[in-house]
Amino acid sequence: MTTHAAPDRNLVAQAHKLCSDLLTARPAIYWTDLILTALVAYAGFAGAVLFPELWMRAIAFVVSALAFYRGVSFIHEVSHLRAQDVPGFKAGYNALIGVPFLTPSLMYEGVHNLHHAKTRYGTVQDPEYMPLGHGRIWQVPLFVLVAGLAPFGLLIRFGILSPIAAIFPPFRRTVVERFSALAINPLFRREMPTGSQLKLWLWLESLCALWAMTFLALVFAGVITETVFWTGIGLGAAVGLVNQLRTLVAHHWENEGEEMTPTEQFLDTVNVPPPATLPMLWAPVGLRYHALHHLLPRLPYHNLGAAHARLMAELPESARYGEGSARGFWEVVARLIGFIRNRRSASETKIAPAE
């Protein structure tokens, strides 16, 4: 186990001191962003179904997918906001995006905070970490492609597993532990909800189950056409794939289960700041500043850009903050592939028999 040296504590302390005035969330920004995002997403969905020309439907589909992805990304903010920060925002997210898209806040709250626990990050107890750097290269595209099955998984989770768990209570623990978290670690097992969390959980799960069952029933009855169904599935798959691409470059995935110091955790995590422009689309709602978010998780998304610029300008080089930034998606992917190849080569050299 690595000890937490003074430089590790100093990086966090210095960053917090420099950005302490940026910790306040602005409700007007959150609500305006969420509402406009939802309007664009649903309007794009309608266009992807109703527009007469294929090219028009294709453009509407892309716009809708990116908007739904941005909307779903607010689940990350919901998991960090306190109730008094942006009153009612959790309910607004669940009403506009969470329940209709079967990604309610219950799937992330109580899970994402474990990813930020200093003693859990990068270990087998981290729900959002996989040691991809210690696997095989073919596992990298598989990691991304499996996310395309997300809409089917969510329909099964709420449309089938929730009713079964309601009828057979012993099955509920399995559903909660293994199928109730937006996690990538297959070894992660979620704890059962309790107290106030349980009450909200039951409400949200019931609403999602009712919507999923209604949706499936209307599809089988022919009320929802095949075009609408497959467009919806396509949008869900697109959101899952883009999010998984973003997740792929959110970390370097070079840890193999050991506990890491705060600086090691920061350097294993990635910012993709300007001048890169595409991260605005594939890492929205502040997700392009993932390393900074791990350093200061209380920063609201709308202040991350200003905080990053300030830290780059005012932190000394010895703080190593600049090492957390990459120029773009492919730079991070190239590092991951290179790390896997170097490990593989070193391993083969180590076990090669002597001549």
Cβ pair 22, 307 in contact under 8 A: yes
What's the mean pLDDT in 5-32? 86
Q: What's the pLDDT band for 5 if we cut at 50, 70, 90?
A: very low
- Residue 71 scores a pLDDT above 80: yes
For the segment 274-291, what is each residue's pLDDT rounded down to a tens digit?
999 999 999 999 999 999
Contact status, residue 78 vs residue 90, Cβ threshold 8 Å = yes
pLDDT at residue 344 in the model: 83
Q: Please name which of 109, 103, 90 lies closest in space to residue 30, comparing C-alpha atoms.
A: 90
Would you tell me the crossing angle of helices 226-248 and 54-80 to the nearest 10 degrees? 50
**pLDDT (tens digit per residue) in 308-335:** 999 999 998 888 899 999 999 999 999 9
Question: Which residues on neighbouring strands pair with residue 343, listed in sequence order?
Answer: none
pTM of the entire predicted model: 0.93
Cα separation, 129 vs 143, in Å, equals: 12
pLDDT tens digits, one per residue of 51-69: 999 999 999 999 999 999 9
Q: What is the DSSP string of 120-163?
A: TTTSTT-TT---GGGS-TTHHHHHHHGGGGHHHHHHHIIIIIHH
Average the pLDDT over 74-99 and give the result: 97
Q: Span 149-157, mean pLDDT?
A: 97
What per-residue confidence (pLDDT) applies to 6?
45
The residue among 44, 83, 75, 80 whose CA lies nearest residue 61 is 44
Contact indicator for 137, 337 with CB cutoff of 8 Å: yes
Which DSSP string do the residues of 18-63 spell out, in sequence order? Answer: HHGGG----HHHHHHHHHHHHHHHHHHHHHHHH-SSHHHHHHHHHH
Mean pLDDT of 11-35: 95
**With contact defined as beta carbons under 8 Å apart, do 187 and 131 qualify?**
no
- Predicted pLDDT at 1: 38
CA distance 76 to 354: 52
Percent of the chain with pLDDT over 90: 84
The pLDDT value recorded for residue 261 is 86
Top pLDDT among 8 and 141 is at 141
- Give me the mean pLDDT over the 296-317 stretch: 95
